[in-house]
A and B are shown apart, each in its own frame.
Chain A
Amino acid sequence: MLELKSIDAGYGSFQALFDVSLDVKAGEAVGVIGPNGAGKTTLMRLISGLIRPLKGRIAMEGTDVGATPPHRIVSLGIAHVPENRRLFPRLTVSDNLKMGAYMQGARAKYAERLEFVFDLFPRMKERRNQMAGTMSGGEQQMCAIGRALMSNPKLLLLDEPSAGLAPVVVQQVFELVKRIRASGLTVLIVEQNVQQVLRVVDRAYLLEAGSIRAAGTAAELAASDTIKQAYLGV
């Protein structure tokens, strides 16, 4: 479904990603794990078109993402839940969700999508008239995921969904990711919380200092010595 081939990317003279290749097949949940500054967020921003690759090709179901403006990428079926959620804090929860269904195609299915999101996050229904910035971190994360789901995506990009959340809430968020997957979506998730993410995904890539250092099924990675020592603390 999504394919990245030997991508180089960076900001100005600083290069953040070196020859990164990865792919996500329809229906899969794939994780990208790695420490701070490994280039995980850069990877996400590349896929949703907020920055452009210096080299290499990104394709979503055959369409060249690198040449598509960000607002069009949404209509290719990619929805991005940015790091730190990036809600519109002074808009209400329903207005935030409405913005998620901004694209023409999604507007037609607005009511249907809203029901789907409220079904998934009953809490959002209770809070729909509240300003998004006044909710707790976990609720804001739900709202951000809900906003992304409003565009009726095929592929959901989750950037550090556990960032800044209490451990209990982190578990809830990952439970939600499982349920979103079960509803048929493909998920690409970037995380530092390796232990949690390996329980949710099928496959994962290890990204360090801008390069892919390891790849494999979740079970393989969880069993590998490097990852055990460096990330799982066992």
Chain B
Amino acid sequence: MNRQLAGWIIALIVLVAVPFVHRDPYHLHIMVLILIWSFAYTSWSIMGRFGLVSLGHGGFMGIGAYVTALLWNHLGITPWIGIPLSMVTAGVLALIVAYPCFRFRITGHYFVLVTLALSGIVLQVITATRDYTGGSLGYTPQRAPSGKGLLALQFDDKATWYLIALAVWVVGLVVWRAIDRSMIRHAMEAISEDEDAAAAAGVNVTAEKLKITLISALMTALAGALYCQYQMFISPDTVSGIAVSLQMVFAAIVGGVYVALGPTVGAVITILLAEVLRISFGTKAVGWDNLVYGVLLVLFIIFLPKGILGSVIDLVKSPRKPPRGHEQQTVPVARR
């Protein structure tokens, strides 16, 4: 246990030291993107790991980005206040959509469809109110006058952004760990197996599901707001809508939704894949990454349902345990 903690601390020190040693802006840019998206994917997995598959998270991310930017541009509200407000907006929307779903037992595919509609609606609203949001052409937060960068949460320095993104990413992992060690995890695992039996054991099914959905939505909105502040340009396609929702599901599944660092591994793979395709094929390969994602997603769901990191951890762990005969043979049967 202590060794594990030491490992985390060393890894963290190394990660914090990176921008002071290596100042290549392109590499830092990729790492910032990876950290922000890792945080978004982690946020999705916080509920996704319990079988609450949401395709509405693109909507939450879009709300985080657009509400923050709109408040800044139109009302001059600093993102320091705008970001919490955008998170609250996403949280309220999450509760409005999720409460009836959970109360009336809309689960499985039906839940996925409801959340899919949520993504679609947010996307439509952004596109339709183009006088304010710029519609499908995208939107840019106004540049702060020089010297007011901190107030506007706008930094030209990539190293600063790297450290901010790193801090938020760590917070995401801490939240994951806190949930992993709490009774919420037990309750949610029980709910995902059998809602009636969980209720009969004393779990307030609706409340537990709402809690986890709320946490997940708040975090996702924060990811959207950060992305907006970092890129200084948002468009419905890059932070909102169904494509973003699907991207989250894909990356989380590839990395592994059941382990804390799984979504991060997913972000590293998907972003590097997109970059490699972009650099090696340029404009000839526009959209290829989606094709590759699609094929990989099918392969992963069939052959590696626990994702890359989940499967690697299983591989590393299993030989250490001495085979216990009967138990070892029976376990895989239930995983089908």
Contacts and interface: CB of A to CB of B under 8 A. Distances in A.
A147 B197 CA distance: 10
A90 B193 contact: yes
B201 A151 contact: yes
Interface in A81-117: 82, 86-91, 95, 98-100, 102-103, 106-107
A87 B201 contact: no
23 contacts: A48-B200, A71-B202, A74-B200, A82-B197, A86-B194, A86-B196, A86-B197, A86-B200, A87-B194, A87-B197, A88-B198, A89-B193, A91-B189, A95-B186, A99-B186, A102-B186, A106-B202, A107-B183, A129-B327, A131-B330, A131-B331, A134-B334, A151-B201
Interface in B142-187: 183, 186-187
Interface size class of B (residues with CB under 8 A): 20 to 34
A70 B198 CA distance: 10
A20 B183 CA distance: 38
B204 interface: yes
B271 interface: no
Given A88-B193, A89-B334, A147 B201 contact: yes
A86 B186 CA distance: 16
A130 B335 CA distance: 13
B285 interface: no
B198 to A, nearest CB: 7
B203 interface: yes
A151 B200 CA distance: 11
A137 interface: no
A88 B192 CA distance: 9
B204 A71 contact: yes
A165 interface: no
Contacts of B197: 82, 86-88
B190 interface: yes
B199 interface: yes
Most chain A CB within a 10 A radius of its CB, from B189, B199, B331: B199
A109 B198 CA distance: 19
B180 to A, nearest CB: 13
A69 interface: yes
Contacts of B96: none
B333 A134 contact: yes
B198 A131 contact: no
A91 B331 CA distance: 11
Contact of B327 (A50, A75, A130): A130
Given A86-B196, A88-B189, A99 B201 contact: yes
Interface in B183-237: 183, 186-187, 189-190, 193-194, 196-205
A91 B187 contact: no
Contacts of A151: 201-202
Nearest to B208: A71
B186 A98 contact: yes
B330 A50 contact: no
A40 interface: no
Contacts of B186: 95, 98-99, 102
A203 interface: no
A50 B199 contact: yes
B204 A69 contact: yes
A133 interface: yes
A91 B193 contact: yes
B201 to A, nearest CB: 5
Given A90-B335, A129-B327, A131-B334, A99 B190 contact: yes
A80 interface: yes
B68 to A, nearest CB: 37
Contacts of B327: 129-130
Interface in B313-334: 327, 330-331, 333-334
Interface string A213-230: 000000000000000000
